[in-house]
Structure 1
Amino acid sequence: MRSIVESRHTRRSFWRQLTLIGPAFVAGAWQFGPGNLTTAMNAGALYGYTLIWVIIVSTILMVFLTDMSVRLGIRTPVSLIASIKETLGGWVGVVAGFGVFLITLCFSVGNAVGSGVGLSMLIPGTSPVMWTIICSAAVATILLLKGIYRVVEKVLIVIVALMAVCFIVSAFAANPDWAAAGAGLIPVVPDGAWLLIIGLVGTNFSINAAFYASYGTKARRRTEADYRDITIVDTIPGIIAPGIMTALVIVVAAAVLHATGTDAPGAFGGLARIFEPIAGPVGAWIFALGFFGAAFSSMIPNCVAGGTMISDALGRGGSADTTTARLGSAFILAFGLAITLVFSGSSPVELIVIAQALTVLFAPILAALILIMANNRALMGSLRNRWWQNVMGVIGLVSVVALSIRLAISLLT
């Protein structure tokens, strides 16, 4: 009798664990966007499998920072920005909120462009701008629904699962050198690769997505008793999944482009056509679907997060359902669409790369705030950072500071 009761309890516990899936997968979907794909493809095309280790390191750092944010979501009484205001001063909380908002504006450009390009590759002969307008309208419809966060979670978990399948199929269809890919796990810095390495870290180690994970956790009303299970079923797999997909993009680009001596194409359609000799029309379709999925899945949480942050910074509430949050989300969506329309004649790759690069300017501030708040003894209690978590947090902070300095130097010169 006792074993039966324990067995039933185990089964109930397992299903309850699955209901905890959500916030980290949203952060991962936001992280795995067009900019991530762009830098990963260039890494594989230019340097083969050599830079896979960068994705592994940045994914590990992302797991640690997201974990800190999840614990903050559990422990903050109202929201992370509200706690920052109370602990460090109101102006610091406002800077944090506006920082995330400005990052989401930059991301909105890449997402808008990427969603249109992806669908135009799926349906040749159609206009990318037309699809950008349609995708923007679809996201606007989702944002009008009540209980936005729950809807976003469900949509994104499905899209992330589909993308995972697509990129796994693509990787095997490309017939890569798996031994060389394994050697890419050993840290090596090729000549002239530093800028690309910084770009890979900046896109895969998405501080704003980690910051917003606290809000997803708070929206789901998670408790300290849930923390261990959240880590196992959501935080770790939710962040590792996009890391694996990014590594697979490098593997595919290395097999398709670098192995044949072909440079990275100037447009994403070029890479899709290169897949055709390997897997026929299906290969091009898989790539286009994966690229659209990456852009669209990043588009939704980007708008929701930006609107929520600006609402919280202005003292209007840290929920995606406030009027201020909805207006902020609408502005982000409209901004991405407007820039896409204005620069419709420009290279979509250049627009995505430039927009992605600008997001790192506020990343050090957000990383420092997460680290400081996760060490606040009065706020965090038993969930306060341990020494080894602080070590990984400092490494992550130093990384994004270096990235931000490198970008500032590039802009000035």
Structure 2
Amino acid sequence: MSDRITHRPPATPGTGHGRISTNTVRTIVESAPQRRSFVQQLALIGPAFVAGAWQFGPGNLTTAVQAGSTYQYALIWVIVLSTILMIFLTDMSVRLGIRTPVSLISSIKEHLGKPVGILAGVGVFLITLCFSVGNAVGSGLGLSMLIPGSSPVMWTLICTLAVAAVLFIRSIYRVVEKILIGIVALMAICFVASAFIANADWAQAASGLIPAVPDGSWVLIIALVGTNFSINAAFYTAYGTKERGRKEADYRDVTKADTIPGIIAPGIMTSLVIIVAAAVLGATGQSATSIVGLATIFEPLAGPVGGFVFALGFFGAAFSSMIPNAIAGGTMLSDAFGRGPSASTRTARLTSGFILAFGVIVTLLFQSSPVQLIVLAQALTVLIAPVLALLILVMANRRSLMGPMRNKWWQNTMGVVGLVAVLALSVRLLISLLSGV
């Protein structure tokens, strides 16, 4: 009997016992970590910076300046804590954007029921209506400060028309990203410069990292959390991530290049505004009693340069928030009612236009906007925020949806801390409103 060597044809992927299918190989290759250069990582910047730009609006500036002018450096810890919680919630939303087949609200409908998905979309829409007024007022005021003698209302109308024109661009989200990243960079320069101009007491500022609750500060604390732990902005990050076509292999680099710096940036800027307001108040004895007062609070210390720098940053904050606020509200209401999860749908464009119009109409009817009303409006957002936070947390734990990107125990721990925080603040706000405190 002679030995024979049997030549077998190469095995076809997907055939025979123990073979690996072509789809499996492709999945492994696509999900494998890829090394990216620094420049390639910069290309991943986008969705979290859009969320940060939305988060850092005129309401944020208003509450930050009032915090600094009323309580000096004592409330900086609120910004630090809110920023940490915001990073974790935004990270969950990024992973949801990667894993959801169509959109976050569509997945909520599939897993938790259609009414819950509609509730989420309507909730975000209502928040955007509240924000639209401050954005409209702030953009007009910022430009009127930069161009003395001009009408804030006129600039409000011009800014609104400019944003409305953006709605008709075919690839809205990509254009918005580029605009907002540039504005965020401009704002960062303005507020860092303001901090040096104000000659702040940095030792006192460091003491503000220790949690303390001054008498009568609860509503302001709630408003600071409402603007800096912006759950509606975190929620929308899932849509931006989906629009950019992020894959599981991108996740680590996206976290380093976009999620963490995109959320830390507005946190740092808000802290700087508190520090500058505290420093200027100590030097001039002024307090911020109106929006005009906010825009001119730096002039007594630094002259026209200080006022110009702050006005430029104020305009940037308002305009950068106006764009994603309108687009996010339109997109998610469109998705909630099954009209499509994109900012380019007809329903999304019309709804975004309505949000812009609402801000202008309220601005025209009530041309004087006391600081306390803006603070209260920001605080009221925490009444809706717990619902959105709970939905993000629940969906990020759905094993069938998230697979290997499902929340880990430490991510759930921080998510629960954030949820409990906004729930507690909602209860505290209701108590304050009912008691008239």
Normalising by the residue count of structure 1, what TM-score does the alignment of the two structures yield? 0.94
Cα drift, residue 122 of structure 1: 1.4
Instruction: Output the amino acid matched with 1:224.
Output: E
Contact 1:202–1:403 (8 Å) recurs in 2? no
Contact 2:330–2:349 (8 Å) recurs in 1? yes
Identify the match of residue 341 of structure 1 among 343, 364, 378. Answer: 364
Is 1:363–2:385 an aligned residue pair? yes
Cα drift, residue 279 of structure 1: 2.2
Instruction: Tell me what 2:116 maps to.
Output: 92
Instruction: Tell me what 1:262 maps to.
Output: 285
Secondary structure at the residue paired with 2:121?
helix
Query: Kindly tell me: are residues 140 and 217 of structure 1, through their superposed partners in 2, closer, same or farther at Cα, counting changes over 3 Å?
Result: same
Instruction: Tell me what 1:109 maps to.
Output: 133
- Distance in structure 1 (CA, Å) of the matches to 2:318 and 2:370: 13
Identify the match of residue 183 of structure 1 among 204, 207, 210. Answer: 207
Identify the match of residue 299 of structure 1 among 291, 314, 322. Answer: 322
Instruction: Tell me what 2:26 maps to.
Output: none
Secondary structure at the residue paired with 1:144?
coil
- The structure number with the bigger radius of gyration is 2
Could you list the runs of 5+ residues in structure 2 that have no partner in the other structure? 1-33
Question: Where in structure 2 are the equivalents of 1:157-196 lying within 5 Å?
Answer: 157-196=181-220
Question: Where in structure 2 are the equivalents of 1:371-410 lying within 5 Å?
Answer: 371-410=393-432
Secondary structure at the residue paired with 1:187?
coil
Question: Where in structure 2 are the equivalents of 1:5-404 lying within 5 Å?
Answer: 13-257=37-281, 259-260=282-283, 262-344=285-367, 346-404=368-426
- Distance in structure 1 (CA, Å) of the matches to 2:136 and 2:374: 9
Contact 2:121–2:333 (8 Å) recurs in 1? yes
* RMSD (Å) for aligned C-alpha atoms: 1.5
Contact 1:109–1:351 (8 Å) recurs in 2? no
Cα drift, residue 348 of structure 1: 4.8
Secondary structure at the residue paired with 2:37?
helix
Instruction: Output the amino acid matched with 2:292.
Output: G
Contact 1:110–1:355 (8 Å) recurs in 2? no
- Distance in structure 2 (CA, Å) of the matches to 1:89 and 1:370: 15
Secondary structure at the residue paired with 1:280?
helix
| Partner deviation per Cα, 1:289-345 (whole Å, 9 max, x = no partner) | 11111110000000110010011001111100111111111111111111111112x
Runs of 4+ displaced beyond 6 Å: none
- Distance in structure 2 (CA, Å) of the matches to 1:350 and 1:187: 23
Contact 1:113–1:352 (8 Å) recurs in 2? no
- Distance in structure 2 (CA, Å) of the matches to 1:89 and 1:135: 39
Contact 1:41–1:264 (8 Å) recurs in 2? no
Cα drift, residue 266 of structure 1: 1.6
- Distance in structure 1 (CA, Å) of the matches to 2:263 and 2:316: 17
| Partner deviation per Cα, 1:116-167 (whole Å, 9 max, x = no partner) | 1111111222221111101100100111111000010000000000000000
| Partner deviation per Cα, 1:234-290 (whole Å, 9 max, x = no partner) | 000000000000000000011001x24735222233244342243221100011111
Aligned-residue identity in percent: 74
- Distance in structure 2 (CA, Å) of the matches to 1:353 and 1:54: 15
Normalising by the residue count of structure 2, what TM-score does the alignment of the two structures yield? 0.89
- Distance in structure 1 (CA, Å) of the matches to 2:417 and 2:327: 29
- Distance in structure 1 (CA, Å) of the matches to 2:176 and 2:54: 11
- Distance in structure 1 (CA, Å) of the matches to 2:167 and 2:370: 26
The structure with the largest helix share of the pair is 1
Query: Kindly tell me: are residues 274 and 81 of structure 1, through their superposed partners in 2, closer, same or farther at Cα, counting changes over 3 Å?
Result: closer
Q: How many pairs were matched up? A: 402
- Distance in structure 2 (CA, Å) of the matches to 1:12 and 1:47: 45
